[in-house]
Structure 1
Amino acid sequence: MKTDIVLAGVGGQGILSIASILGEAALRDNLYLKQAETHGMSQRGGAVVSHVRISDDAVASDLIPVGTADIILSVEPMEALRYLPFLKEDGYIVTNTTPFKNIPNYPNEEEILAELKKQPRCIAIDADAIASEIGNRRASNMVMLGAATPFIQITPEKIEAGIQRVFSKKGEDVVNLNLEAFRAGRNFALANK
């Protein structure tokens, strides 16, 4: 078993929280894990990418080679397009459809989504709208994580335990909100894959 995931978005969208939760879940499942990240966190809205490699065998490198990622999980559609070269031929794109317009000449949203949907395995989800319906738009990253779980070889229960661990310091209400967002994203992906 091996799953290579490119997490992409911009600063403030919760990419590092997703990476932490996946790491927690992998360790709970006694799997090997390597992670590397680059981020513009000193500037909200700066590009953030994290490579997460999970396997039942030792992982030699923390970086995912171009053309080998099993999943591109993007909380922002332009960032999914940016990392498309990393996706392997039978890989999955799981992307939020809501753009984060952090540059003045942000490309046409419809053209970005059309390009992404040319891929045979693309889940495009309005995670911001789903998270808002649940009660907090900031939980859109957990909607996205949930939408990716059908393609990650870790049980949803282990990922939920990771969510509980990562958000436990923020209180039970925050944990429950994030679990609800996670489940909503998972249900969307299962219904649309």
Structure 2
Amino acid sequence: MKTDIILAGVGGQGILSIASILGEAVLREGLFLKQAETHGMSQRGGAVVSHLRISDAPVAADLIPKGAADIILSVEPMEALRYLPFLSPGGYIVTNTTPFINVPNYPDVEKLMEEVRKQPRFVAIDADQMATEIGNKRASNMVMLGAAAPFIDIEPEKIEAGIESIFKRKGEEVVELNLKAFRAGYQFALKNR
């Protein structure tokens, strides 16, 4: 078993929370994990990417080679396309459709989504809207994690335990909100893959 995941987004969108939760879930599953992160001026809305390599055998390298990612989980559509060269032929793009417009020459969103839709396997979800309906737009990263979960070889319950572990210091209400967001994304992906 092996799953290589690229987490992509912009500083402040919760990429590192997703990586921490998956790390917790991997430990609970008894699997191996290598992780590498890049923070490009993340406090100022710069790109953030994390490579996660999950396996049932030791993992030697922490960076995913081009053409080898099983999943690109992007909390922002332009970042999904930025990492497209890393996607394996059988891989999935899981992207938020809501853009994080942080540069003056941000591409046309519909053209970005046309490129995503050209891919053979993708899930495109308006995670910001779904999280807002659940109760907090900031939970959009958990909607995205849920939308990617059907393609990750980890039981959803283990990911939920990771969510509980990471957010428990913020209180039960925050834990429940994030679990609800995760489950909403998960159900969406099951119906729309």
Aligned to 1:100: 100
3-state DSSP of counterpart to 1:153: coil
**CA distance in structure 2 between the partners assigned to 1:42 and 1:117 by the alignment:** 28
2:88 alignment partner in structure 1:
88
CA distance in 1, matches of 2:40, 2:163: 24
Q: Deviations over 1:64-93 (max 9, x none)?
A: 000000000000000000000000001000
Flag the 1:131–1:5 CA change in 2: closer, same or farther, 3 A: same
Equivalence for 2:65: 65
Deviation at 1:43, TM superposition (A): 2.7
Report the Cα distance in structure 1 between the residues aligned to 2:49 and 2:155, rounded to whole angstroms.
24
Q: Number of residue pairs matched?
A: 193
Matches within 5 A, 1:141-180: 141-180=141-180
CA separation in 1, counterparts of 2:174 and 2:164? 9
- Does residue 182 in structure 1 map to residue 182 in structure 2? yes
- Structure 2 counterpart of 1:112, one-letter code: L
Structure 1, gaps ≥5 residues long: none
The 5-angstrom pairing of residues 1-193 of structure 1 reads 1-193=1-193
What one-letter code is carried by the residue in structure 2 that aligns with 1:44? R
Amino acid at match of 1:11: G
Aligned-pair distance for 1:20? Answer: 0.3
Shift of 1:44: 3.0
Cα RMSD for the two superposed structures = 0.7
Write out per-residue CA displacement over residues 30-65 of structure 1, whole angstroms, 9 at most, x where no aligned residue.
000000000135533110000000000000000000
Letter in 2 for 1:149: A
- For residues 116 and 37 of structure 2, what CA distance do their matches in structure 1 show? 23
| 8 Å Cα contact 1:12-1:41 kept in structure 2 | no
Q: Which amino acid aligns with 1:186?
A: Y
TM, length-normalised to structure 1: 0.99
2:169 corresponds to which letter in structure 1?
K
By how many angstroms is 1:169 displaced? Answer: 0.5
SS in 1 for 2:43: coil
**1:116·1:122 contact (CA, 8 Å) conserved in 2?**
yes
**What percent of counterpart residues are identical?**
77
Amino acid at match of 1:91: G
Instruction: Provide the TM-score with structure 2 as the length reference.
Output: 0.99
AA matched with 2:59: V
CA deviations over 1:1-31 (Å, ceiling 9, x no partner): 0000000000000000000000000000000
Unmatched segments (≥5 aa) in structure 2: none
Q: Is the 8 A contact 1:32 1:56 kept in 2?
A: yes
Alpha-carbon deviation of 1:109? 0.2
